[in-house]
Amino acid sequence: MTSILRGLSIVRVATAWISVFRGVGQPFERVERPIPEPGPGEAVVALDLSTLCGSDLHTLRGRRHGPVPTILGHEGVGRVVAIGEGKESSWLGRRVSWTLTDSCGACRPCAAWGIPQKCINLLKYGHAPLTASGGLHGCYASHLTLRKGTHLVEVPAALPDAVAAPANCALATMVAVAESLPPPGDMAVVQGAGLLGLYGCALLRMAGWPTVFVVDHQPQRLTAVPRFGGTPVLAADSSPIPRDEVDVVVEVCGSAHAIPEGLRWLRPGGHYALAGLVHPDSALSLTGESLIRKCLTLRGFHNYAPRHLMSAINFLDRHRDTHPWESLVSPPMPLSRLEEAFALAESGRWCRVAVTAREP
């Protein structure tokens, strides 16, 4: 059992359950281990709900490589049950989301370039070796240790766990994309109708874009698009999207083949945001001339800064009744059935499958 001793800077907690990933093709290993006392500035979170991100599917199937053994999982929501010296005691007991990267705050990416997600001393939750500073740095567990350079954001009580859990990855990333775009024009296109695409669509519509086309190859993935304010377009017949007239294209489909078509849609002076091509099979077929003659801006996005997570949680709170956010996430499965949860995630039935260590 976890105990909370309010008013103390260091709180003793007992043990955590973790699901250890040892490599492709190996079953998750359920292990009980002591929760280390939080170090200076650290916080221990008891996880209420975690969601399975597509990047974890890639790791599980060997399409993405990371250190093992590890605890996968970086999307989640939980309550602060212990804090280390120097961490404000008011965090104790609060329900929180957190930046999925821990940054040092002092290196050039952090301090000079404004991209702490590219910190040279970065730790990324769900991608850290089990041997790293206490080891509890993944969300497929009962507890998570957040390091000193991780930004915490309180989650309003009205936001259900399933709505809040994916905010610290998919939504905050799309907030970073949306922030970079020019003011609303006539029309935008989002390539990909997964969770990133639906979030992107909602963000653009709420920012004032009158028309947002959302393109996908799979008809079933397009069914949710109108509920998030978008106009669904099947990739096999993209004729509703006018050539040379689109102000902004946002790629979150992960397919390099989509880029030439996006370039054809863009108007002169248009913006192309790439956020989904985070894998090696992403060679682009385009000419410099196609960028230059249309005076295009092309920009890549990977993760986000703390302010984007704050905006993401605020956005969900403001619009919690206007969009069916909860419909995107499965009912929670027990963490002990993580393999089944991954199989369900691969079926595409849900944008996110949820797991919880709080078993009945």
List residues near Zn ion by CB under 5 A: 53, 103-104, 107, 110, 119, 169
Please report how close the Cβ of residue 355 comes to Zn ion at its closest, in angstroms. 14
Cα separation of 58 and 24, whole Å?
10
**Residues 180-192: b if buried by 16+ CB within 10 A, e if exposed:** ebeebbebbbbbb
Q: Residue 78 corresponds to which amino acid?
A: G
Question: Which of 180, 204, 166 is CA-nearest to residue 54?
Answer: 166
Residue nearer to Zn ion on the CB measure, 18 or 110 = 110
Cα separation of 113 and 107, whole Å?
9
Please report how close the Cβ of residue 199 comes to Zn ion at its closest, in angstroms. 12
Omega prior to 260 cis, within 30 of 0: no
Please report how close the Cβ of residue 169 comes to Zn ion at its closest, in angstroms. 3
Residue nearer to Zn ion on the CB measure, 53 or 81 = 53
Please report how close the Cβ of residue 254 comes to Zn ion at its closest, in angstroms. 13
Cα separation of 136 and 170, whole Å?
22
Cα separation of 325 and 228, whole Å?
9
Query: Are the C-beta atoms of 41 and 84 separated by less than 8 Å?
Result: yes
Please report how close the Cβ of residue 246 comes to Zn ion at its closest, in angstroms. 27
Q: Which residues contact 328 (CB under 8 A, 6 or more apart)?
A: 166, 195, 198, 224, 350, 351, 352
Which of the 8 DSSP states describes residue 163? Answer: H
Residue nearer to Zn ion on the CB measure, 119 or 214 = 119
Residue nearer to Zn ion on the CB measure, 11 or 275 = 275
Residue nearer to Zn ion on the CB measure, 119 or 123 = 119
Phi, psi angle pair for 10, to nearest 5°: -125, 130
Strand partners of residue 127: none
Residue nearer to Zn ion on the CB measure, 73 or 270 = 73
Residue nearer to Zn ion on the CB measure, 35 or 53 = 53
Please report how close the Cβ of residue 95 comes to Zn ion at its closest, in angstroms. 20
Pairing of strands 15-20, 152-154: unpaired
Residue nearer to Zn ion on the CB measure, 104 or 234 = 104
Which of the 8 DSSP states describes residue 78? Answer: E
Please report how close the Cβ of residue 55 comes to Zn ion at its closest, in angstroms. 5
Please report how close the Cβ of residue 191 comes to Zn ion at its closest, in angstroms. 18
Angle between helices 170-180 and 195-207 (to 10 degrees): 40
